[in-house]
Amino acid sequence: MTDENKKNHLVAVIGAGPAGLYAARFLANEGTYVVFFNRDIKPGGLAEYGIYPSKHKMKEGLRKQFRQIMGMPEIEYYGNLVVGQQGDISLAELKSLGFQALLVTVGAQGTKWLGLPGEDLLGVYHAKDIVYHYNKLPPYSMQKFRIGKRVALIGVGNVMLDIARWIIRELKVDEVIAVARRGPAEVKFSKKEMETVARNLDLEDLDAEIERVAPVMKSVGQDVEAAKAFILSTLQKADEPVSDTRFYLEFLASPSCILGGERGVVRGLEVEDTTLVPSNGDTKAKRLGTKRVIPVDTVIFCIGDRVDETFGLSVKWNEFVKNNEPRFPINGLSYEAYDLENEQPVEGVFVAGWSREASSGLVGVARKDGENGAQAVLEYLGTLPEVENKDEILEKLYRRLKLVDKHIVTKEDWQRLEQVEMIEAEHLGLEEFKFASNQEMLTAIKKMGERTTV
């Protein structure tokens, strides 16, 4: 779009993870003024708090891009601010202030559970909470996790391997058992992620496990040797082990109950045996009724996420509901929020990234979906006149945020925080340094601000 054809519009982007950041850049490049509202003090979302801590090169590459986006003059930022029905400001209030469109990219902030008996026992956790903990996202960074010596991980995707990597290489527990409803041909992890813990696999047990499930695999036409070869291929470039932890893969097992012992502490995971049956060109797990107990003292669910039901949008199947008949579809997909109660689209409200499809893809997928969501917003804005009172709206917003009883973090504040943490990392000889609590970050921002004004 040429400068002559660009229109001046005002959009709120809620959530400053990868989807929101790339969407904001897309919008800003088309002449739209963007205001970010972010729950966390820092922008970055799962790119900042979801990537394994030791992947410094990847994280710094993303931060460099995010700094460029945040540095654009068409983008404003307010962090440490919760948007939602029970938050500091609601979607309805943002619309009433005069924003022409709202793009929701808050991700899937809730956690998905299976609703099993015993999920409230001490020693039962969700992977997301632990990932946030070791990546130092407040308040999870301050939370205590009781991780025992024998840990069951529910799920066989890359998130499971991130957790396995942490408890095997950092905590050095005795045993880790990854539990899967289906078989070895349907694991969801990548070869590269498995390489971090492959040397801890109990190969004798793996042989026995694949032999056990082979008849079921063959009955649905799966290649047993290919599935086994994929897992074993991760040994070729695997990281050297740093612990004696034994790592097991348990297939055709569906969790049915978590058993507790004294003082409400986990003592075992009950699983029901499954088999595989054909289903629409794929397979699905079918329960067999036979059950057994795996002795463990910790259970961690690595099964995906769900959106926040208190946010202010209709939710179904763990996701915000989209308009089935979108006015502005992008590649056949709807990015338009839908109100189930009133049975109508939510005017001017769009969703992208994990807010559109929970737990889908990594940063590259989030980037593309954010940009697609931004394109849908632009097409909607094309039906509206230019905003003529932008400064007045921003002033009203500023006055409203002054009423929030906490420090709302601005773009300048965040830049000061980055500077402080870089200095601290250099001083300590670390690849990176993060303050573990919001209060520490806010104190650092205040001190740096005092220095720069002297």
- HEC sequence for 98-130: CCCEEEECCCCCEECCCCCCCCCCECEEEHHHH
Kindly report the CATH number assigned to the domain that includes residue 241: 3.50.50.60
163 and 242 share one domain: yes
Domain boundary, last residue among 275, 303, 331 = 303
Residue 261 Cα distances to 115, 234, 297, 441, angstroms:
19, 37, 9, 40
- pLDDT tens-digit profile of 382-410? 999 999 999 999 999 999 999 999 999 99
365 and 311 in a single domain? The answer is yes
Closest CA to 327 of 367, 387, 386, 375: 375
Note whether 360 and 252 are same-domain residues: no
Last-in-domain residue among 281, 303, 325: 303
pLDDT at 273: 98
What value, to the nearest 5°, has the Cα angle with vertex 204 and ends 198 and 210? 85
- Residue 431 is assigned to a structural domain of this protein: no
Range of the domain at 381: 9-109+306-406
Q: Cis peptide before 139, with omega less than 30 degrees from 0? A: yes
- Regarding whether 176 and 280 lie in a shared domain, the answer is yes
Tell me: do 357 and 386 sit in the same domain. Answer: yes
HSE at residue 60, side-chain half, CA atoms within 13 A, is: 8
247 sits in the region (left: phi over 0; alpha: psi -120 to 50; else beta) called beta
Residue 325, pLDDT score: 97
Contact present, 361 and 353 (Cβ < 8 Å) = no
Judgement on whether residues 125 and 240 belong to the same structural domain of the protein: yes
DSSP of 180-193, one letter per residue?
A: -SS-GGG----HHH
| Measured CA distances, 289 to 48, 119, 285, 294 (Å) | 43, 21, 12, 16
Is 254 in contact with 181 (CB distance < 8 Å)?
yes
Query: Is the torsion defined by CA of 365, 368, 374, 380 positive or negative?
Result: negative
* Whether residue 257 is found in the same domain as residue 371: no
User: Do 159 and 299 belong together in one domain?
Assistant: yes
Helix (H), strand (E) at residue 256: strand 253-260
Tell whether 256 is covered by a domain.
Answer: yes
Q: What is the model's pLDDT at position 110?
A: 81
**How many Å apart are CA 422 and CA 417, to the nearest integer?**
9
Backbone phi and psi for residue 443, each to the nearest 5 degrees, phi listed first: -65, -40
Residues of the chain scoring pLDDT < 50: 1-2, 4, 454
Type of residue numbered 101: A
Q: What is the structure's pLDDT at 454?
A: 43
Tally of domains within the chain: 2
**Residues 154 and 67 both lie in one domain:** no
